[in-house]
Amino acid sequence: MRFLALATAVATTTALVASPASAAEAGIDDVFLGVGATNTSANLSWTSTTPATDQVVEVKDGKSVPATTSTSAFNGMYGVDAELTGLTPGKEYTYRVGSDAAGWSDWYTFTPEAEASEWNFLFYGDPQIGASKGKKDDAALWKTTVEKTVKGNPGTDFLLNAGDQINADRSATEEQKEAEYDAFFAPDELRQVRTAVQDGNHDKRSLEAFHTHYNLPNGIDQNYYFTYNNALVIVLDTNIEDTQMHKDFIATATAAHPEADWTIVSFHQPPYAQSYHAYEDKTTWLRDELTPVLSESGVDLVLSGHEHIYGRSHLMKANTPVEQEKQAAPGDVFTPADGEVLYITANSSTGSKFYDFATSIDDRHPDLTFEESVEKKMLGHGTAYWNQDYTPDYTDVQVTPTSLKVITRNVDDNSVVDEVTLNKPGSRDLAPGELAAVIIVPLVALLAGLGALVAQFIEPIRAQLRAWGLPV
């Protein structure tokens, strides 16, 4: 693989809100290492206080990628995008962005993970920085979550966030929104591990700012896709209720990558919710219109946020549960048939806010447990399992050619909230007990039977040889 065929960056500038004074003094702010179109690429973005046309990504011991900037400005800030291609897996890269005219960022280092048949990524529910209205330090909570989870899962290939990176309250000024963006980008890990984001309902309140801060591969508006090893990841903007648009986009992505072992889709609002969101018109559209498209398109796994409460669906064929009466529990293993999709909904990754389990828009049940909801027959359509302990979670998605293991953990103590595995037909992983029952025990029985059979024929021969006086 070539060293670094750094493709000429298309650096577009858009207007942005004013940055804090410290960022403005530096000239460069909100440097973000986004996912690229493939595992050998990365899409970078940053903001600049000037429309300098000479901005680049400078790579130590490598080439620099020039950027083209426009002269349009929004609140005195400009967004800059750049694409790195031809990255060598396992090679360490040290880079900075900017120019002499615009100023320079610090130096950052990232290492694209080596290509592997077994790999993982981390998925986060809504950070929604600013949602606590100052009751919590949302920025510090997000920084802690990213630092702990990346450190606790070394070698993670990329990060995926469910949307609502910021709160963007309807009354917030552009300066307040930008402060929330600054907080989201604060963890150094977001410049060291490639990260994918999506447009949540709160991000949508300022799409100009969204596109200024992010550089999406293979994108049409807020829909985009990328591949990583043997998986195709498709991100949809479900703020837009245009079923045909999403269907066409999924078809384009899947047709371009028929070799993918797994198709994973992520969008903000979940079809199978546990909070009051389950009873909104948005959820009805997702269930009635989008889930049939996902089943028809060969999607395996869907990851969503929005809920601020963890939930897992049954396997769903369109909007119809498969084995709805089966009792769900952490550790479930499934082998989906064609068209059967699993839906996972993340809890908050920061704890900036949580929602209660609900049985209608107005009927909410604080501190209700999953077991109580089963006993009282309160589970909603499609819901297999849920959990709300009012602490932040994250999800580790482990990928092999034959399985997807989805483990959701508590950020604070890394305890398991839920675990579920999807296996390809004919490739189900066996637990130790199953291995003994299915393979070892029958093998021992077979060998014993063969021994008895051999003895049945050998003994008469030995008897005849002894009758002839031969030693046996």
Q: What is the pLDDT of residues 157-214, one digit of tens each?
A: 999 999 999 999 999 998 999 999 999 999 999 999 999 999 999 999 989 899 999 9
C-alpha Rg value of the chain to the nearest Å: 26
**Last residue of a domain, which of 113, 144, 164?**
113
| 314-327: pLDDT as tens digits | 999 999 999 888 89
User: Based on the domain organization, do 54 and 23 belong to the same domain?
Assistant: yes
Give the domain extent around 463: 432-472
Query: Which pLDDT value is given to residue 300?
Result: 98
- The size of the chain, in residues, is 472
- Tell me, yes or no, whether 452 and 329 share the same domain: no
Q: What is the pTM of this model?
A: 0.87
Choose one of 113, 142, 169: the last residue of a domain.
113
Q: Is 283 found in the same domain as 144?
A: yes
Tell me which of 85, 113, 141 is where a domain ends: 113
Residues 131 and 250 in one domain: yes
Number of domain units in the chain: 3
Q: Are 244 and 376 members of one domain? A: yes
pLDDT, one tens digit for every residue, the chain (472 residues): 333 433 333 333 332 233 333 434 569 999 999 999 999 999 999 999 999 989 999 999 888 988 767 566 666 789 999 999 999 999 999 999 999 999 999 999 999 999 899 999 999 999 999 999 999 999 999 999 999 999 999 999 999 999 999 999 999 998 999 999 999 999 999 999 999 999 999 999 989 899 999 999 999 999 999 999 999 999 999 999 999 999 999 999 999 999 999 999 999 999 999 999 999 999 999 999 999 999 999 999 999 999 999 999 999 999 999 988 889 999 999 999 999 999 999 999 999 999 999 999 999 999 999 999 999 999 999 999 999 999 999 999 999 999 999 999 999 999 999 999 999 998 654 444 444 444 444 444 555 555 555 456 566 666 665 666 666 5
Residue 154, amino acid: P
* pLDDT tens column, 136-157: 999 999 999 999 999 999 999 9
Question: What CATH code is carried by the domain that includes residue 60?
Answer: 2.60.40.10
Q: Are residues 274 and 419 in the same domain?
A: yes
Residue 142: give its domain's CATH number. Answer: 3.60.21.10
Q: Is 136 in the same domain as 235? A: yes
User: In terms of domains, do 419 and 456 share one?
Assistant: no
Q: Are residues 137 and 98 in the same domain?
A: no
342 shares a domain with 406: yes
Residues 317 and 204 both lie in one domain: yes
User: 289 and 229 in one domain?
Assistant: yes
